[in-house]
Structure 1
Amino acid sequence: MAVSLLGHEVSDLCLGKPALRSLPVSATVADALAALKRSGDAYLSVWSCDHTSKINKSHLEDCRCIGKICMVDVVCFLCREDNLSCSSAALQSPLSLLLPKVPGLVRHLKPNSRLLEAIDLMLEGAQNIVIPIQSRTNPRKKLVPKPSFNSTLHNGVEFCWLTQEDVVRFLLNSIGIFSPLPGLTIESLNIIDTENIPSVYYHDPASSALTAISQSLINQTSVAVLDPQNKLVGEISPFTLACCDETVAAAIATLSAGDLMAYIDCGGPPEDLVRLVKARLEERKLGAFLDLMEEDFSYSSSSSSDEEFGFGGSGGSGKYSARMARRSEAIVCYPWSSLMAVMIQALAHRVSYVWVIEEDWSLAGIVTFAAILKVFRQHLRTQA
C-alpha cells in the first residue's frame, strides 16, 4: 500500500501551485531586491535565460532554473564589510554573486515523474524541484513570453516547484499506511542531528552568526540562540529575516544576537533598538546605511524599472513585507516525541525543522524534513 502511494506522479502534488516568478542570472542585486519587494514572494527563481533580451531568442530553448534567491541572500551580501561602506555599489553587483556555490539545490523533473524520484533527489540535497505546469485548457497552445524580468513563462511553459514541505505534508495525509512508523520516537529512529547545529550565544555579535545564517538558509534550518548554559532561548530564523527589508543588514552589523531576535520579531523593531542601530552606524561612519534607514531608497537600476518587472501595487520599503512573519521563539520537541507529532508541529508552523531539547531546555539537536524523508524512504525499502 505504501509503495503504491509513492507511485504518484509529482504533478499530483503541484495542483493549484502558482507559477514561479523569475529573474535572469544576468540581473543585478538591485533588480533582485526590487523584485522581491514588489512581488511579496519569499523566493524568486533564477534562470539561465534572459527574457528581456531582444537577441539570441534561441537561448529560450535552453531555459533552466539554476537557483533561487530571497531577501536573506541580499541581506547577507550587504552585511559584508566592504559592502556596508558602499551599499549603492554593492547593489549593482551581478545577481550571480548571491547564488550559493552548492550544486544540486534546485533540480528539474518532468510532471509524470514518480514521487519516489523526487524524494530521492531531495535526499541527494535538492531543496526545490522544478516541475512544468500542465495546462488544463489547451496543452498544445504555446504561450508567448512577456518581455519582463518577472515573466513566469519559459519557452511558452510555466513552472512551479515542489518542496520538502510539500512531500512531508503529502505523506502525513496518508500516514496510517506507514504504521507503526509514525508512533515511534525520533530518538529510536535515530534522526536527531546532534552535530550540524548552527548556533550563536545570546550576547555574541549578531554579525558572528552570518556564516551560520547563510548555511542555515541553504540547509533550510535556523540558527539557535543559546544562553551560557547552552540552553535554547530562541533562534535567528532565515524565514523571519526573509520577511524584513534590506535595512536589517544594519541591525546584524551592529547588534548582539539577542537584540537582533527582538529587532526582527513580528510587529517591527522597537524604537530603542532602531536608535541604537543608528548610533552605532554613525560611530562606524557607515552613513550609506544610515541613509537607508532614514528615507525611502530607490533600487531601480539603469537597466530596469518597476514597469519592466511588471509588478502592480504600491510596494514600499517597510520593515516587514506583506508575507507572514512569525516570532523568534523556537519550535521545539523532545527526544521522546513521536515522528508524527514532530511532522505535525513542523507543518503547522511552516518550518522544515524542529529543535530537540531536554527537559531543562538544553539543546539536544535538530530534526529536519530531510531526515524525516530518509526514514520514510528506508521504510519503503523494507516493504519492497
Structure 2
Amino acid sequence: MQSTISTQTDLSELYKGVRAHTQNLCEPLEVEDFVVQPVMDVSPLKWHLGHTTWFFETFVLKPNVSDYKEFHPKYPFLFNSYYISAGERWTRANRGQLTRPTVKEVFEYRAYVDQAMNQFLDMNELSKEVSEVIVLGCNHEQQHQELFLYDIKRILGDNPLNPQYIQKERKVKTVDAQKEWLNVAEGLYEIGFEGEGFHFDNEEGRHKVFLHEYQIASGLITNGEYMEFMKAGGYRDHMLWLSEAWDWVNENEIKAPRYWHQEDGGEWWHYTLDGYERVGEDDPLCHISYYEADAFARWKGCRLPTEQEWEVACNIYSPNVLPETNFVEAHQFRPIQTSDFDFFGNVWEWTSSPYTAYPYYNPPEGALGEYNGKFMVNQMVLRGGSFGTSKNHIRSTYRNFFHPHLRWMFSGIRLAKHI
C-alpha cells in the first residue's frame, strides 16, 4: 500500500480534502436520513461517519499519540466493522437499532478526531509506515463515501414520496451511441499494480496472464438495450440464467433493474438521486446484479469479460482518465452519456471473474491485514469505478467485489466475446 504523498503538507491536504468531501455529501440531508437501516447491506449514514472516524482514531492516533484521550470508550465497539483483531463489534444487522449516539454526537466525534489528526499532522515528523496508514485511511473513507451514496439512494429510493437527494441540472450530450467491438490480440500480458502510488493489497502482485484473442464492447449497455431484453422475456426464460440466479429471480420476483417501475401506459420510470423520472433509454444501465448481467450477456450471444481481459483492454484503449469522465467530481450523481469508452466512471462493470488472490499476494500483518483478503470467497469482481467514485481513487488495477445477487451499488454491463 505505497503512497506517492511526498510531504506532510500533501498528506494534510489529502486528509482535509477527503474529510471535507464526506461533509459535503451530508449537506443535502435531513437528520432523520442519517439513522435508517432498511436492510443489513445498508448501514445508517451516521454509522459511516462514525466508522471512518474510528479508523483514524484506532490506527493512527491511539498507537502514535501518547496522551491521546479516546472520545468515548464505547465507540470502538459501535463503529468497528469487521476487524476482529481490533476488538469486539456491534452486530452489523442491528446498526439501525441505535438511536444513540445521536447524529449531533457523531459529528462531534468527527470534529474531535479531526482536530487531533490535524494537530498530529502539523506537529510530528511521520514515519513512512504511519503515513501509509493515513493514506489508507483516506482511501478507506473514499470507499465509504461511495457506499454512503449507495445507502442514501436505497433509503430514499423506497420512500413513496421519492424525495430528492440533490437537484442538479442534467448534463445531456448528443453522442454516437453506436458501439463497436474493440479487438485485443492473443498474447501474454501483465496485470496487477506496479510502480509508485497508493494501491490496495489485493492489487498485488504483478503477474503474467495469457489471453486468447477476444473482442470487448466499446461502450456500456444502455437502458434501452436492456429494455429489449425485458421485452423479449429475458426474466422468464430459464435457459438464460444460472441455476442459483434463476432461484433468485423467482424467489424475489425480479422483473426489472433496481429502482425501476412500470407506470400506466407501459413506460418505465426509476428513482434517481435527483428524484423520480422517466428512464432515459440512451443512458448507461445501472443497478444490475451479476446474475442479471450474465443472463443479459447470454441473451446477446456474448459473455462478460474476465477481469484480466477488462484490465488489458482498458490499458490499451483508455490508458488515461479523460477530463469528461463521470466521477463524483462531475456532480452528476447518475450515469450519463459520454463520448468516451467509459472504462472509467459512470458505473462499475461486472466481470466473470471470482474474487480471489493474485499470485504472490501477501496481506499486511495485524488488523489491517483483514482489509481485503478475508473476503476472497463467493464474490465477483467489478472494475472501473462509477459516478460515485472519486477520481483520485481509481485506476485500471482497482478490484471492487460484491456478492452476485447485490445491485444497490452503481453497477452495469460491458460485453465481450470470443473471436
Structure 1 and Structure 2 fold alike (TM over 0.5) = no
TM-score range, shorter chain: under 0.3
Q: What TM-score does the superposition give when structure 1 sets the normalisation length?
A: 0.24
Q: What TM-score does the superposition give when structure 2 sets the normalisation length?
A: 0.23
